[in-house]
Amino acid sequence: DAKTTQPNSMESNEEEPVHLPCNHSTISGTDYIHWYRQLPSQGPEYVIHGLTSNVNNRMASLAIAEDRKSSTLILHRATLRDAAVYYCILLTGGYNKLIFGAGTRLAVHP
Amino acid sequence: NAGVMQNPRHLVRRRGQEARLRCSPMKGHSHVYWYRQLPEEGLKFMVYLQKENIIDESGMPKERFSAEFPKEGPSILRIQQVVRGDSAAYFCASSPRAKQGGNTEAFFGQGTRLTVV
């Protein structure tokens, strides 16, 4: 499975935008870039995914570099509820065998 | 449409007993996955099942652990003769049939927290 690299932790202030980076220099042409997050004491939660083009949904935006070797998850206005561990995962094949790394622990300050 | 339902939420077992964890996938989902999260560690894939079939069990410990997803009813993760090292949070996820490889999201339950005493 292709590997991703994320910072261990990041901090943000409430209502400010947050940019969470992910490097995946060995990504293959068929790998989708997925983001999940895990709030304290809860199960993981799907955030967003994409292949080549930037993606937007109600939770976040995903910006994918032109060479696909990196991507950025964008939370447009952080709230206290966004404090979680965010995982960037590459996924290919026909099913959701998610390989979780250490992720980025996001702290949001009031 | 109810989400992925796991029960029990908390389970306490003595060493040597059996633990049975249940997972009901989202309506219409035919793919079920089990993950384990040991204390202060990351999430690890255990097994992937479709109805009546184990597709990928590469993350399952070789002994004492088994999983099934019968034609009717929930998926079951069974741990026989539990030991203290089995204490962890066990998460189930489900997904619909993949539209295209890697192009489908997974939905997770709230987990079962197993404590072995």
Say what the pLDDT of residue A88 is.
97
Size of interface A-B (CB pairs under 8 A): 73
| Distance (Å, whole) CA B100 – CA A109 | 39
Q: How confident is the model at residue B97 (pLDDT cuts 50, 70, 90)?
A: confident
| Distance (Å, whole) CA B89 – CA B8 | 11
Say what the pLDDT of residue A104 is.
97
Say what the pLDDT of residue B35 is.
97
A39 contacts chain B (CB < 8 A):
no
| Distance (Å, whole) CA B69 – CA B22 | 10
Cα-trace Rg, chain B? 14
Which tokens belong to B10?
């908390």
| Distance (Å, whole) CA A107 – CA A14 | 10
**In this complex, which of B45, B55, B102 lies closest to A30 when CB atoms are compared?**
B102
A54 contacts chain B (CB < 8 A):
no
Cα-trace Rg, chain A? 13
- DSSP output for A43-80: --EEEEEESSS-EE-SS-EEEE-TTSSEEEEEESS--G
Exposed e or buried b per residue across A34-61, where buried means at least 16 C-beta atoms within 10 angstroms of its C-beta: bbbbbeeeebbbbbbbbeeeebeeeebb
Using CA atoms, how far residue B71 sits from B38, B76, B104, in Å, is 30, 12, 23
User: If you average pLDDT over residues B86-107, what whole number do you get?
Assistant: 85
Say what the pLDDT of residue B101 is.
65
User: If you average pLDDT over residues B4-19, what whole number do you get?
Assistant: 98
Which tokens belong to B28?
């219409």
| Statement: residue B98 has pLDDT above 80 | no
DSSP-derived letter for residue B73 is: S
Q: Residue B4 CB: number of other CB atoms within 10 A?
A: 23
Q: pLDDT tens across B57-68, in order?
A: 999 999 999 999
Which residue ranges in chain A fall short of pLDDT 70?
1-2, 94
Say what the pLDDT of residue B99 is.
61
Q: Look at phi and psi of residue B9 and say left if phi exceeds 0, alpha if psi is from -120 to 50, else beta.
A: alpha
- Evaluated on CA atoms B49, B53, B56, B59, the torsion sign reads positive
User: If you average pLDDT over residues B30-56, what whole number do you get?
Assistant: 93
Say what the pLDDT of residue A79 is.
96
- A100: exposed, middle or buried (C-beta count within 10 Å: 0-12, 13-18, 19+)? buried
Q: Which residue of chain B is at minimal alpha-carbon distance from A33?
A: B102
Per-window interface: B 67-96 vs A, CB < 8 A: 91, 93, 95
